[in-house]
Amino acid sequence: MNIPIILLVLLSITALSIPIIHILFGKKGISYIRYLTAISLSISLLLLFGSLIGLISQESTLPHLLRTDLLGSFFGFIVILVSLFVVISSFDYVKDHSNEAIYYSLLLFTSIGMLLLSFAIDLLLIFVAWELMSLPTFILAGFNKQDKLSNEGAVKFFVLGALSSGILLYGISLIFGLVGSTNLYVIADNLASLNSNLIPLVMFATIALLAGLGLKLSIVPFHMWIPDTYQGSPTPISALLSAATKKAGFAAAIRIFAVIFPLFSFDLSFALAIVAVITMSLGNLAALTQKSITRLLAYSSIAQAGYLLIGLVVLPYSDLGLIGLLYHSLNHAILQATAFIAAALVRLKTSSTDLTSYQGLSKIMPITSFCLAISLLGLAGIPPLNGFWSKLVLFGAAVDGGYAWLAFIGLINSAISVAYYLLVIKRMYMDEPKTVSNIIEPMSFKSVLLFATIVIIITGLFPNLIYDLSQEITNSFFNQ
Rounded Cα distance between 366 and 449, Å, is: 12
Residue 474 CB contacts under 8 Å (≥ 6 apart), including other chains: 319, 322, 323, 326
- CA 46 from chain centre, in angstroms, equals 20
> Measured between alpha carbons, how far is 387 from 72 in angstroms, rounded to an integer?
22
Q: What is the pLDDT of residue 36?
A: 92
Q: Is 150 exposed, middle or buried (0-12, 13-18, 19+ CB in 10 A)?
A: buried
d(CA 354, CA 88): 24
Question: What is 323-368 written as a DSSP string?
Answer: HHHHHHHHHHHHHHHHHHHHHHHHHHHHS--BGGGGTTHHHHSHHH
Spatial CB neighbours of 427, under 8 Å, sequence gap ≥ 6: 355, 356, 358, 359, 360, 361
What is residue 299's predicted lDDT score, i.e. its pLDDT? 92
Alpha-carbon gap, residue 109 to 111, rounded angstroms: 5
Give the C-alpha separation, 205 to 373, whole Å. 43
State the pLDDT at residue 76.
Answer: 92
Rounded-to-integer distance, Cα 340 and Cα 347, Å? 10
Q: What is the reported pLDDT for 277? A: 93
Are 10 and 76 spatial neighbours (Cβ–Cβ below 8 Å)? no
Put residue 26 in one of left, alpha, beta given phi > 0 → left and psi -120 to 50 → alpha: left
3-state secondary structure of 183: strand
Residue 152 confidence (pLDDT): 84
Each residue's pLDDT expressed in tens, for the chain with a length of 480 residues: 688 888 999 999 999 999 898 888 878 888 888 999 999 999 999 999 988 887 776 666 677 788 888 888 999 999 999 999 999 998 888 887 778 889 999 999 999 999 999 898 888 999 999 999 989 998 998 888 777 888 888 888 888 888 888 888 988 898 888 888 888 888 877 877 777 777 778 888 888 888 888 877 888 888 888 888 888 888 899 899 989 988 998 898 888 887 776 655 546 788 889 999 999 999 999 999 888 899 999 999 999 999 999 988 888 888 888 999 999 999 999 999 999 999 999 888 887 888 888 888 888 888 999 999 999 999 998 988 988 999 999 999 999 888 899 999 999 999 999 999 999 999 888 877 777 677 788 888 899 999 999 999 999 999 998 999 999 998 888 876
* Cβ atoms 118, 76 nearer than 8 A: yes
Identify any residues that bridge with 66 across adjacent strands, giving them in sequence order. 120
Torsion 258-261-265-271 (CA) sign: negative
Q: Is 129 within 8 Å of 245 (Cβ atoms)?
A: no
User: Would you say 381 and 388 are in contact if contact means Cβ atoms under 8 Å apart?
Assistant: yes
Q: What angle do helix axes 319-350 and 70-93 make, rounded to 10 degrees?
A: 10
- pLDDT 10s digits, 295-305: 999 999 999 99
Looking at residue 262, what is its pLDDT? Answer: 65
Supply the pLDDT for residue 449. 94
> To which H or E segment does residue 259 belong?
helix 246-287
